[in-house]
Amino acid sequence: MEFERLMIEEVQLITPKKIGDDRGYFMESFRHDLFRDHVGDYSFVQENQSLSAKRCTVRGLHYQLEPKAQGKLVRCVAGAIFDVAVDIRTGSPTYGRHVAAELSEENGQLLWIPPGFAHGFCTLRDNSIVCYKTTDYYSAAHDSGLRWDDPDLAIGWPVDVSEAILSDKDRVQPCFAELDGNVFSVGDKVEGLA
C-alpha cells in the first residue's frame, strides 16, 4: 500500500497493491496499522455508499461543522469519479485551495480527506458507486457546504455547468467568500482523532 501526500500535504492518495490472476484480483483496501503510521490514528465510525446513475452527477462540496467535523476515506468501487478536497481551515497556508484525484474501480485508489476540508465529487461514468468511511457520525444540525462551481475556488471540474446533475441542496450552497472565516482553525482539536 502506497501513501502519497498531495499538494495539500494533509490530503493523501492511497494506492493499494492488487494481486491478480485469471480469476480477477485481491487487494487490501484498508489497514489500520498502515493508515495510522502514514496518516494518523483516526477511528472510523460510519461507512456510507452512494450510487450516481448518470455521468456528470456532482455531489458536494460538503463538510460538517465542529464539534461533528468528519474526516473521510473515499474510494470508487464502480465507475469513476473526479474527487475534490478544499481546505477551509482558517490560518492554513493552503486556505481556499484544493486538490483533486481521479478514483476508479480500476485504479482502486482511496483519497484521505481530513476534518477541516470540504469534499465533493463528479461522476465520470454512469452507475458510479462511491464508498467512504467517516471519523464522525452524520449530523444534520452540523451539515454544511460550499457552491461546487464557485469561481473563487477555480476547481477544474470535468463537467460543464449546463451538464451538471445536482441535488436541490447543492444548487443553493453559499460561495467560499460567504464563509465567516471561522469554520475551522488550524490546530483545532478534531473529534475522531484518537
pLDDT by residue, tens only, the chain of 194 residues: 999 999 999 999 999 999 999 999 999 999 999 999 999 999 999 999 999 999 999 999 999 999 999 999 999 999 999 999 999 999 999 999 999 999 999 999 999 999 999 999 999 999 999 999 999 999 999 999 999 999 999 999 999 999 999 999 999 999 999 987 657 766 544 443 33
Instruction: Give ∠ CA 125-115-57 in degrees, rounded to 5.
Output: 20
Q: pLDDT value at position 183?
A: 72
d(CA 174, CA 168): 13
Q: pLDDT value at position 181?
A: 61
Candidates 25, 42, 132, 142; catalytic one: 132
Candidates 62, 63, 95, 98; catalytic one: 62
Q: Give the domain 2-185 fold.
A: Jelly Rolls (2.60.120)
User: Comparing C-alpha atoms, which of 4, 3, 2, 113 is closest to residue 61?
Assistant: 113
Q: pLDDT value at position 182?
A: 58
Catalytic, 138? Answer: no
Q: pLDDT value at position 132?
A: 98
Spell out the domain ranges in the chain.
2-185
Catalytic, 62? Answer: yes
Q: pLDDT value at position 185?
A: 66
H or E stretch at 62:
strand 58-64
The x, y and z cell numbers of residue 136, run together, are 464522525
User: Comparing C-alpha atoms, which of 76, 71, 83 is closest to residue 40?
Assistant: 71
Report the Cα–Cα distance between both ends of the chain, in Å, rounded.
22
d(CA 131, CA 156): 23
